[in-house]
A and B are shown apart, each in its own frame.
Chain A
Amino acid sequence: MDLIVCMKRVPDSAAKIKVAADGKSIEQAGVDHVISPYDEIALERAIQIKEEQGGTVTVMCLGTSDATKEIRQALAMGADKAVLIKDGGGSRGPLGIARALADAIKERPHDAVLFGRQSIDADNSAVGVIVARLLDLPCATLVTKLDMADGKANVHRESEGGTEVIEVALPAVFTAQRGLAEPRYPAIKGIMMAKKKPIEELDAPEPAGTLSLDALTPPADRTGGRIVGEGPEAVGELVRLLRQEAKVL
């Protein structure tokens, strides 16, 4: 099985996000970066499948050379090689991101392409589906179980009605939901080996410029902090406030 996992470098979910002075980006100081958590789940499952049945796992990342640290992390977990598609900047949007990835995926063997269900910075939940469409591959999103055999994948995915059990012929695109796999911590041996694994660099195509980011602002402050009282005795007053003041009951 030749598997490609697309990953993004993002601020850690525990990071405080502050808008920078330019009003269009975030303060980088004190912000740790990680492989976007859902991408990491996809990567873990891909590595497990490779370990079970052989093949290769290639991680693919659109970003700047800053992402090299997160790519090495992916290689230390067990990916075999990496492709860094160097983004020269500019506003790309999900369609532009997907085009850059699809161009690179097309040129490489892929029995399946895995994504996280969304990145935890842009929160679009769109790139995986678009890549599938651009490559004319079937796509299952929010995948919580993924097995591959005999040119087919058996999938569990989260849907509105419950868990759908799906069969799909490979190659196909999958986006990972929590529950699919628990990402491993790289072992020392993996970290040593990762240093020797190849990172191929490509230049991203010029962004088509379908979106422009005009401003980034902090969310409106909530004026919270009103303590109604202590213990069960406060419930009566709480219910009165919810009815008469907030009018939500």
Chain B
Amino acid sequence: MAAVLAFIESHDGKLKKSAGEVMGQAQRLAGSLGGGVDAVIVGAGVAGLADDVAALGADRVFVADSDAFGTFTIDGFTPAVMLAVTASTPKLVLLAASVSGKDLAPAVAAASSSAILTDVTEIEAADGKVSVVKPVYAGKALAKVSATSDTVVATIRPNVFEPIAPEAGKSATVETLDVGTPDIRTVIKEVLAKASEKLDLTEADVIVAGGRGLKDPANWHLIEELAESVGGVVGASRAVVDAGWRPHEEQVGQTGKTVSPKLYIAVGISGAIQHLAGMRTSKCIVAVNTDPEAPIFTVADFGIVGDALEVCPVLTEELKKLRS
């Protein structure tokens, strides 16, 4: 019996960064939960990644490899993970709170009658029980919650926990899961506007977000160029999303995405309560705004009082120099 079963995500034939974050916490908690760490990986052509998962310290790696798993679906992935749960009988199933993890975790919790703790920023185990800190009200408060059930499913917020480094030479028992032909009722007909190789905002290391201070959607290229110069992903304030400048999937805030990148650059964003709630846990916040009294400066580590249209291009040039 394992103490923790870690769900490992991959993309384009490589483990995602979240794999190291999940495995790091799985190993730290396993001892207190009285057992080892198993891992499960589900996908199309993922069998070859079992060694990479072993290098992160799993005792056993369960592999569900099928063309049916080329795209994440709740109907496809849940039974595959449940096979691993049945074989592993863990106290804790640990996943990343990624787009797929947020769909998969509740389905696994329901299927295994486990308590579910979502998007946690701290997690501990003592006396066989799991307790977490979880932001609520989009981070306006933190809830300390403990599970009183025997089994728990938890998702950890991306970019919060230190990823564990792989150690070559670590090995694991690899077990292939017999998944048969899953009955996927949500039939994917096509995928539109494939957002190139862009990361989801919630998993990005660097975010450059723009607001009304850009004055006109025609100036949005300044935000995109700044993001490009620093290898970041573009975000937006609610004001510019509501105004139709930007799509809603770019919105940061309580009614958009809650993010905690290493670096968050807010350009022309004044900092409404609901926006601050969605980004205040970023490790370093930079703000550029014309109004020195703007609330965004109360959470910014570094601020520049100035016009976004003037500051943005200069900052982009300086950052480009660093990279070249």
Residues of A within 8 A of B (CB): 11, 13-17, 19, 26, 37-38, 93-95, 98, 120-127, 129-130, 132-134, 138-142, 144, 155-156, 158-169, 172, 177-179, 209-219, 222, 224-232, 234-236, 238-239, 241-243, 246, 248-249
Contacts and interface: CB of A to CB of B under 8 A. Distances in A.
The 3 closest A-B pairs by CB, nearest first: A138-B185, A133-B110, A210-B115
SS class, residues of chain B in contact with chain A: mixed
A120 B255 contact: yes
A17 B105 CA distance: 28
Contacts of A212: 145-146, 148
B286 interface: yes
A248 B285 CA distance: 10
A235 B192 CA distance: 39
Contacts of B188: 164-166
Given A95-B114, A214-B144, A234-B306, 9 more contacts: A126-B116, A129-B103, A160-B100, A164-B192, A165-B189, A210-B115, A216-B136, A231-B306, A239-B318
Given A140-B186, A161-B195, A214-B131, A94 B305 contact: no
A211 B118 CA distance: 12
A228 B314 contact: no
B99 interface: yes
A190 B194 CA distance: 41
B302 A226 contact: yes
25 contacts: A13-B253, A13-B277, A16-B273, A95-B113, A120-B254, A120-B255, A126-B109, A129-B103, A133-B106, A141-B74, A158-B249, A160-B99, A164-B192, A165-B192, A166-B189, A168-B185, A169-B185, A216-B143, A222-B280, A225-B298, A230-B304, A231-B304, A235-B304, A236-B318, A242-B263
B304 A218 contact: no
Contact of A242 (B185, B189, B302): B302
A215 to B, nearest CB: 4
A95 B153 CA distance: 11
B135 interface: yes
B314 A126 contact: no
Q: What is the predominant secondary structure among interface residues of chain A facing chain B?
A: mixed
Interface of B: 11, 71-72, 74-75, 78, 98-100, 102-103, 105-107, 109-111, 113-119, 131, 134-149, 185-195, 200, 206, 230, 241, 247-249, 251, 253-256, 258, 262-263, 272-274, 277, 280-281, 283-286, 292, 297-307, 310-311, 314-315, 318-319, 322
Contacts of B193: 162-163
Contact of B300 (A158, A168, A224): A224
A94 B106 CA distance: 8
B105 A126 contact: yes
Contacts of A26: 137, 141
A125 B241 CA distance: 22
A177 B302 CA distance: 33
A179 B145 CA distance: 32
Nearest to A214: B144
A221 B21 CA distance: 25
A212 B101 CA distance: 23
A133 B135 contact: no
Contacts of B300: 224-226
A224 B301 contact: yes
A124 to B, nearest CB: 5
B311 A232 contact: yes
Contacts of A120: 137-138, 254-255
B311 A235 contact: yes
A156 B142 contact: no
A67 B262 CA distance: 39
B287 to A, nearest CB: 8
A129 B248 contact: no
A167 B189 contact: yes
Given A93-B115, A160-B98, A239-B322, A228 B141 contact: no
Contacts of A156: 192
A134 B112 CA distance: 11
Contacts of A19: 141
Given A123-B119, A125-B118, A177-B248, A231 B307 contact: yes
B135 to A, nearest CB: 7
B142 A217 contact: yes
A74 to B, nearest CB: 18
Contact of A234 (B75, B141, B230, B304): B304
B107 A249 contact: no
